[in-house]
Chains A and B, each alone.
Chain A
Amino acid sequence: EIVMTQSPATLSVSPGERATLSCRASQSLTSNLAWYQQKPGQAPRLLIYGASTRATGIPAKFSGSGSGTEFTLTISSLQSEDFAVYYCQQYNNWPTFGQGTKLEIK
């Protein structure tokens, strides 16, 4: 099983600022990584796949980068609706998710 480790567990950022979330895989994924956003009481929503390709309808403020074992999700110009929990997920093998990063208002 590929283990996904996200950091930090909680990230406090002020509205209007940029947030940078990290995800590390226990083995190389090439670019087989996705990011999801989850708000309280809702299902996860696909943001990014292929490490850097935005899903349909996702604004350009969300960007993904990385390959191999190190990946980053960057969210620019944070607005209130962006504060949520973010999960990375690998699909290089049987799919596994990280434990999440909670993005909270500073």
Chain B
Amino acid sequence: EVQLLESGGGLVQPGGSLRISCAASGFAFNSYAMSWVRQAPGKGPEWVSGFNIAGDRTYYTDSVKGRFTISRDTSSDTLYLQMHSLRAEDTAVYYCAVSSGWIFDYWGQGTLVTVSS
């Protein structure tokens, strides 16, 4: 059974930094593409960043380029999202997802990131 468990969310001030994690299990982590998708309160989901299957290419939506960095540790089957220069509009539940061709097959339960002073 695929399991994705996010952690590390919390309250951070504008301009601050935060790293969130996603512990994966139940599948071959280094054989699947992975993504971060966020959802602001009352809004539809928004794809944020992703890895290709090989894990050697990363992708970002325009609004986070230069501020967010996606990474992964295949020794611990963990996906990360390092976020810098956080803004109020980054406030959302952040989900990690197993993706195939940008179809989001499995999702974690999410971790809430709140950017506020």
- B9-17, B66-74, B97-105: which lies at the interface: B97-105
- A11-19, A39-47, A64-72, A74-82: which lies at the interface: A39-47
Instruction: Return B19 CB to nearest CB of chain A, in Å.
Output: 20
Of B44, B101, B102, B107, the contact of A98 (CB 8 Å cutoff) = B44
CB of A55 within 8 A of CB of B104, answer no
Instruction: Return B37 CB to nearest CB of chain A, in Å.
Output: 8
Of A42, A46, A87, the contact of B44 (CB 8 Å cutoff) = A87
Instruction: Return A40 CB to nearest CB of chain B, in Å.
Output: 12
Chain B interface size, under 10 / 10 to 19 / 20 to 34 / 35 or more: 10 to 19
Q: Once bound together, how far apart are the Cα atoms of A95 and B109, in whole Å? A: 20
CB of A43 within 8 A of CB of B47, answer no
- Write out the residue numbers on chain B whose beta carbons fall within 8 Å of the beta carbon of A34: 103-104
Known interface pairs A98-B44, A99-B44; A49-B107 also in contact (CB < 8 Å): no
Instruction: Return A26 CB to nearest CB of chain B, in Å.
Output: 15
- Write out the residue numbers on chain A whose beta carbons fall within 8 Å of the beta carbon of B106: 46
CB of B108 within 8 A of CB of A43, answer yes
Residue numbers of B with Cβ under 8 A of A are 43-47, 59, 61, 95, 101-110
